[in-house]
């Protein structure tokens, strides 16, 4: 995206409170004669599917404030505006749930999710989710925004979650996610020590045919890549702290991959050790209270400013206590 072609819309009031601030492109000499579609795809990275939705609205796509087709050609100096209608999550009940807000602007919301809470309502979890709390938070601020999580964490995994506040921001961040341009780093306390201090687990993952909620490593699975590094060892190799970076984002990926190399997560009821593993393991499991996994760092390029941004979230108290127990 060329800063000379894209105008920051801060301070520009849209004609209708039902629309987000417009994305604006000023046509340069070298782009004269291109179609609106080609230019906004090139300069703004707007996907064709999103553009198809936008063009159906009254003020969705204009050139010099005149509604046009996406096939219309443009001349030097023309001003293209892309306006997206604001949406709300009508199917999500607002609830006053405490949120740990790490960062928020008009485009992004970064949260530190506690363990024991689901990100989005699902069958059996219609209330008490992160989404319910976020929708309430926005309603109290008078913001008309739809809940659009970019990444998700398991119910009992804590850490950083990014939520987009417009369809354009969601599309841009989803593209970054697909291109492995968003950095996600995790801390995990595991049984044993990986065979190498640092390495890459490249093992495809899919559902267990005998238990659809469980994932397994299988040659027929989807490509799954996890990079890891051992940060600390405890009890003569009985356990270790491992830091991980995901290259792909499969369901339960870290939990499955660590079990695959013989180092399941402490406290992981689905993939961890059985109860008969011993009194010491039982104490660790009880202290952890859930799988000992925390999304501690998140980095991305802000879609509107082009600036690389990073956020960090320290270990929650539960895992700090586990760390102290392991160090003893």
In this chain, the answer to whether the domains covering 6-82 and 101-179 adopt an identical fold is no
154 is catalytic: yes
For residue 230, the model assigns a pLDDT of 98
Indicate the fold that domain 184-297+308-327 takes in CATH.
Answer: Pseudouridine synthase (3.30.2350)
When the candidates are 3.40.50.1000, 3.10.290.10, 1.10.3720.10, 3.40.50.1820, the CATH number that belongs to 6-82 is 3.10.290.10
Q: What is the mean pLDDT of the chain?
A: 90
pTM confidence score: 0.86
* 3-state secondary structure (DSSP) of residue 308: strand
pLDDT in tens, 248-257: 889 999 999 9
pLDDT in tens, 12-57: 444 567 888 889 999 999 999 999 999 998 889 888 888 888 888 8
* Domain boundaries, given as residue ranges, for the chain: 6-82, 101-179, 184-297+308-327
For residue 80, the model assigns a pLDDT of 92
Tokens describing residue 75: 């001349």
Tokens describing residue 46: 């707007």
Catalytic site residue from 5, 31, 78, 154: 154
Gyration radius of the chain over CA positions: 23
Q: What is the CATH number of domain 101-179?
A: 3.30.2350.10
pLDDT in tens, 64-108: 998 888 889 999 999 999 988 888 888 899 999 999 999 999 999
Contacts of 71 (CB under 8 A, 6+ apart): 35, 36, 37
- CA 138 – CA 95 distance, rounded (Å): 11
Residue with tokens 């687990």, as numbered in its chain: 201
- CA 40 – CA 84 distance, rounded (Å): 14
Per the DSSP assignment, residues forming a β-bridge with 85 are 19
Per the DSSP assignment, residues forming a β-bridge with 225 are 202
For residue 16, the model assigns a pLDDT of 60
- CA 111 – CA 151 distance, rounded (Å): 11
Residue 6 reports pLDDT greater than 60:
no
pLDDT-derived band at 2 (thresholds 50, 70, 90) equals very low
pLDDT in tens, 256-301: 999 999 999 999 999 988 767 788 899 999 999 999 999 999 999 9
Nearest to 262 by CA among 280, 238, 281: 238
Tokens describing residue 231: 């940060």
């Amino acid at each position: 995206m060329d800063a000379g072609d894209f105008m920051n819309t801060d301070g520009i009031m849209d004609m209708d409170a039902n629309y987000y601030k417009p994305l604006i492109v000023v046509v340069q000499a070298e782009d004269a004669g291109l179609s609106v579609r080609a230019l906004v795809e090139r300069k703004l990275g707007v996907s064709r599917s999103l553009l198809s939705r936008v063009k159906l609205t009254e003020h969705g796509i204009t050139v010099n404030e005149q509604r046009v087709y996406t096939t219309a050609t443009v001349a030097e100096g023309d001003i293209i505006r892309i306006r997206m209608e604001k949406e709300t999550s009508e199917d999500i009940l607002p609830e006053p749930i405490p949120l740990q807000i790490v960062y928020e602007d008009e485009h992004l919301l970064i949260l530190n999710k506690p363990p024991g809470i689901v990100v989005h309502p699902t069958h059996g979890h219609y209330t008490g989710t992160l989404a319910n709390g976020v929708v309430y938070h926005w309603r109290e601020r008078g913001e008309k925004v739809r809940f659009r999580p970019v990444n998700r964490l398991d119910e009992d995994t804590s850490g950083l979650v990014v939520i987009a506040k417009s369809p354009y921001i969601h599309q841009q961040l989803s593209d970054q996610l697909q291109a492995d341009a968003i950095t996600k780093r995790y801390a995990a306390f595991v049984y044993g020590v990986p065979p190498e201090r640092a390495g890459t687990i490249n093992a495809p993952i899919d559902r267990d045919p005998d238990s659809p909620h469980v994932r397994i490593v299988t040659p027929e699975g989807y490509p799954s890549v996890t990079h890891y590094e051992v940060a600390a060892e405890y009890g003569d190799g009985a356990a270790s702290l491992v830091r991980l970076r995901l290259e792909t984002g499969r369901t339960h990926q870290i939990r499955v991959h660590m079990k695959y190399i013989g180092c399941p997560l402490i406290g992981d009821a689905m993939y961890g050790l059985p109860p008969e593993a011993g009194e010491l393991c039982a104490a660790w499991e009880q202290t952890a209270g859930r799988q000992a996994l925390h999304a501690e760092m998140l980095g991305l390029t802000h879609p509107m400013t082009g600036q690389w941004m990073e956020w960090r979230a320290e270990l929650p108290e539960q895992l700090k206590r586990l760390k102290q127990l392991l160090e003893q």
